[in-house]
Structure 1
Amino acid sequence: MSAQVNEIHIFPVQGAPGRELPASLVEDDGLEGDRRKKAAVQVVAAQDVRADTRANLVVSLGSDELAASIGKVLRVGAVELDVTGTARNCPGVYAAVRRPGTVRVGDDVEVVS
């Protein structure tokens, strides 16, 4: 079974609740409508989601597999993300946008070299 996107979130206002979306345009600097922050995109494994998690993409990859993707490319549907490092003070990883496009809940997620 392949990994998939379980949830998509944007957080337009710092400290305010986010919005869950069925799909989102991923631009060069992050998800459309998301507040710009340290990294364009934050990705978290579904098993690591906590009540205070503010990640953009929740995926069904395991925590170890997601952590091992640092320095690699994460293909999320038609979007490609360069995984740059671990997120600070929260689970998941940060990523830069290599190839923009639209991501949807249910899209396949794959780690590629």
Structure 2
Amino acid sequence: MAELLGIRTYPVKGEPGHDHRTAIVGPEGLEGDRRKKAPVHVVAAEDDRDDLRANLVVSLPAAELVAAIGSGLRVGEVALAVTGTARDCPGVYADVTAPGRIGVGDPVTTGREPA
């Protein structure tokens, strides 16, 4: 089963991010994160790099994340609607459809319908 491996926020543009064990995810994204092009940026562990500025690192294969565009992604109790690929970097962007709390180790699943 896939799981959440990392949680990061980037409160100030151009400054290093902060790693978290847990986070609250609201309709606008992770609490304490600055607003960006999309509420949440999700990346596969195989594509994770320090310069990506992704919010969530998951153990799903990168191809499975991209295949989830137009459908849902569930991370713990949080539901995301995967909206598209990130512009010039790996990963996908997602809107929050069901806010909640997430934690490293939470299960990650994809679905056919938007969550």
Measure how far apart 1:50 and its partner are. 1.8
Unaligned runs of 5+ in 1: none
**How far does the alpha carbon of each residue in 1:44-100 deviate from its partner, in whole angstroms, 9 at most, with x for none?**
000001231110000000010011000010000000000000001111000000000
SS of 1:84's equivalent in the other structure is strand
SS of 2:54's equivalent in the other structure is coil
Distance 2:25 2:50 in 1: 24
Name the Cα RMSD after superposition. Answer: 0.5
Unaligned runs of 5+ in 2: none
The question of 1:14 aligning with 2:26 is answered no
Measure how far apart 1:32 and its partner are. 0.1
Which letter maps to 1:111?
T
Q: Identity of paired residues, percent? A: 57
Corresponding position of 2:110: 111
TM-score, length-scaled by structure 2: 0.96
1:32-51 equivalences under 5 Å are 32-51=31-50
Distance 2:84 2:68 in 1: 9
Measure how far apart 1:112 and its partner are. 1.0
**Structure 1 moving runs of 4+ over 6 Å:** none
Q: Identify which range, 46-55 or 75-84, moves more after superposition.
A: 46-55
TM-score, length-scaled by structure 1: 0.98
Which letter maps to 2:94?
A
